[in-house]
Amino acid sequence: MMALLHALLFGRIGLDAQGLLSLFLHFLLLSLLAVGGAITTAPDMQRFVVGERHWLSDAQFTASVALAQAAPGPNVLFVAVVGWNVAGLAGMFATMVGTLLPSTALALTVTRWGAQRRESRAVRAFTSGMAPLTIGLLLATGWVLTAPSRAHPGAMLLVLATVLAMLRSKISPLWMMAIGAAVGALGLAG
């Protein structure tokens, strides 16, 4: 019974306090860089939990993001799934608090400050400069998430077709996700 409780609280890896603190602090730092949402920091999350710490495999990380993105709710849920897969309930708490606390406090403060000065040149310039940064971060996220399927030409053609469909039409992304799921389930992309 105690082993089950320990696995639920601390996950399969069973990170110690130093590991949990490291996880929390890394996600706290990434929170301050999450221009365009938490998903834009996924490449560095992947680098940290997969490449540097080896807490998850590349496939586990990608599956964590995919599972959370497919579920209803805010897209920040993938942070909770990654934390859960790294260290159970304690990992989920560390990643979510690390992600939400500083960015929420900063967003509230800056929003109030910016609303009072919205017509100033500096605020307009800052706002305009964030668009290309956000697009670049989203492209980096897409690159990381396609890593497990890059060796399969069919999968990459599906990714390219999805990007083109999103750029050239107003079709719902849910349809493209459904097509991708069907192609993957039938084994046609590999």
The better pLDDT of the pair 157, 52 is held by 52
pLDDT at 100: 93
Query: What global pTM score does this model have?
Result: 0.61
Residues shown for the chain: 190
% of the chain with per-residue pLDDT over 90: 35
Tell me the mean pLDDT in the region 163-176: 83
Planar angle of CA 4, 5, 8, nearest 5 degrees: 85
- Per residue in 29-42, pLDDT (tens digit) is 999 888 778 888 99
- Per residue in 95-116, pLDDT (tens digit) is 999 999 998 898 899 889 888 8
What is the band of 183 on the pLDDT scale with cuts at 50, 70, 90? confident
pLDDT at 28: 95
The HSE-up count of residue 86 (CA atoms within 13 Å, CB side) is 33
Residue spans of alpha helices (H) in the chain:
2-10, 17-31, 42-46, 58-70, 77-116, 121-145, 153-168, 173-185
- Per residue in 105-159, pLDDT (tens digit) is 988 998 898 888 888 998 888 888 888 888 888 778 878 878 887 787 777 787 7
Tell me the mean pLDDT in the region 11-37: 85
38/77 Cα distance (integer angstroms): 9
pLDDT at 189: 62
